[in-house]
A and B are shown apart, each in its own frame.
Chain A
Amino acid sequence: MLPSLDPFRLLEALVMLTVFVGFLGLVARRNLFLRTLALDVMGTGSVALFVLVAARSGLRTPVLERDGVAGGLGWADPIPQGVMLTAIVIGLSIQALVLVVLTRLSRHDPLLDKASFEDLDALLRRGGA
């Protein structure tokens, strides 16, 4: 018999799965561009978790309106939403920086294979460049 499934728990499990899939991709992929995408998936997961936490108390965006209350929906929690905005901005800027570096690195190896840069690592370690 299935236990009664709480929709919040279900969504939380799905979000955690997203984070985990992103992490797995980050660790397992050899292509640096795919790793960057995996990082973005992870970031999406964490943002979704904040949205989910904020939506426990209600679904309406916590922005003041001129008109009255619409429908019977409660307000979403503004604190996690504010944090989430910060996290989105930081994640976006980091993605941008990573992509700039990837563009430069693609001159070295257009396939962006991690192994070719680890060779570079070994080369640097021996003192050459």
Chain B
Amino acid sequence: MSKALLANLLITWLLLPYAAAFLGALLPRLARWFALLSGLVTLVVGAWCLMGGSAALDLIGPLGVLLRVDGLAAPFLLLNALVLLAVLAERWRRLPEGPFLVLLPLLLGGLNATAVAVDLVSLYVALEVVGITAFLLILRNRDAGQLWIALRYLLVGNSVMTLYLVGVALLYLQSGSFRFSALAALPPADPARAVILALVLVGLFTKGGLFLSGLWLPQTHAEAPADVSALLSGMAVAGGLCPLLRLAEQLPFLQPLLAWLGLASAVLGLVYALMESDLKRLLAWSTLSQVGLVVIHPPVVVWSPWPTVWPRPPCSCWRAICRAAGSRAGAGGPCPSAWPCPCCWPRSRSPGRRRCWASAARRPCSQRRCRRHPSCRASRPAGCRPC
């Protein structure tokens, strides 16, 4: 497939939910089919990413919108599509009143954009789309409780996003760009970097519902209508997490911080869930806990190990295993090397048991170990024969 065609297809995919919402408002009879279509297309794109497909879209020049559809976005896209389809299936026969079928694709569109955006301004717009749509979804019955919860959701979300925007402006002041990579490229000693990072991270933590900044989450999710709280817990929270993981990929020093915050969030959610008697609130606390688990160990959640994080591979065995497991990291990127190598570990522990390969050139037997594979003797190197 040519690159231009792929880019056009992906842009169509990104715009499809918005078109579905618009057409759904015009043709209410077909609205559920449009929503279904946008969910299915997202499912297909997520599966394509999971299979190793990736594309970088650079729209409107070097300062424009940068999108990256890759393996890191894949679980989030699949999650969006599955939750949307599940909620749609649950509500297929008895639709709630109000513009539910218009808001559903809008939420999907915003979340797809947060999963693939790699610049901070696109991310801001996408997160605000998610926030406004979620606000409107919560307001279904318009009783006082829902109004108050929705108002609080919007106030909290918008105030942290304003702080985020201040961070974005400071980043532009420092580096003249809105990219995640520009944030990573700031000199570490620069005090502005800490300020920018703090402002941006406050926005993402709160949107993602992590630890203390996620304490707004349980009551909001519990008070919303049941299908909407499924959408909020399953999809809307992930809108803050995927950019967080992308940032941690660019800035490796954030990973210990994220791991600790994730652990604290997991434990906090767990403890409160154990003490809770209301079932919906229990599920909401469980969401807080699961969010913590998502950020603790991204390689578990994200299909491919992060290529930039892992150090160089020690031997070819890992690469073979990675390839066998279907991971993209085996296809040329480095493999995880922190773990002992399973195929050469017993042999490397006792040098005497190493397989010895003599090179074709006649050399003394002590030097006959093939230099090309210094630690791993699992396979016979080309041009060598057994000792």
A43 touches B219 (CB 8 A): no
Residue of B nearest to A42 (CB): B162
B169 touches A53 (CB 8 A): yes
B63 touches A45 (CB 8 A): no
Contact A90 to B163, CB < 8 A, known contacts A80-B172, A104-B147: no
Q: Which residues of A contact B135 (CB under 8 A)?
A: 97
Tell yes or no: A98 within 8 A of B by CB: yes
A residues 8-57 touching B (CB-CB < 8 Å): 16, 19, 22-23, 26, 32, 35-36, 39, 42-43, 45-46, 49-50, 53, 56
Q: Which residues of B contact A86 (CB under 8 A)?
A: 121, 124-125
CA distance A21 to B189 in the complex (A): 29
Q: Which residues of B contact A120 (CB under 8 A)?
A: 144-145, 148
A93 touches B132 (CB 8 A): yes
B155 touches A39 (CB 8 A): yes
Q: Could you say which of A35, A86, A93 has the most chain B C-beta atoms within 10 Å of its C-beta?
A: A86
**Would you call the interface of chain B mostly helix, strand, loop, or mixed?**
helix
Residue of B nearest to A101 (CB): B151
Tell yes or no: B159 within 8 A of A by CB: yes
Q: Chain A interface residue count: which class?
A: 35 or more
Chain A proximity of B246: nearest CB distance (Å): 20
Q: How many A-B residue pairs have CB under 8 A?
A: 95
Chain A proximity of B310: nearest CB distance (Å): 35
CA distance A14 to B223 in the complex (A): 40
Contact string against A for B residues 204-221, beta-carbon threshold 8 Å, 1 for contact and 0 otherwise: 000000000000000100
A residues at B contact (CB < 8 Å): 16, 19, 22-23, 26, 32, 35-36, 39, 42-43, 45-46, 49-50, 53, 56, 79-80, 83, 86-87, 90-91, 93-94, 97-98, 101-102, 104-105, 108, 117, 120-121, 124-125, 127, 129
A49 touches B148 (CB 8 A): no
Contact A80 to B144, CB < 8 A, known contacts A39-B155, A39-B158, A97-B154: no
**Would you call the interface of chain A mostly helix, strand, loop, or mixed?**
helix
Partner of A42, one of B143, B159, B173: B159
Q: Chain B interface residue count: which class?
A: 35 or more
Q: Which residues of B contact A90 (CB under 8 A)?
A: 125, 128
Partner of A46, one of B136, B139, B166, B278: B166
Partner of A53, one of B154, B158, B172, B219: B172
Q: Which residues of A contact B151 (CB under 8 A)?
A: 32, 98, 101-102, 105
Tell yes or no: B150 within 8 A of A by CB: yes
Chain B proximity of A34: nearest CB distance (Å): 12
Q: Which residues of B contact A127 (CB under 8 A)?
A: 278
A46 touches B162 (CB 8 A): yes
CA distance A46 to B164 in the complex (A): 9
Tell yes or no: B23 within 8 A of A by CB: no
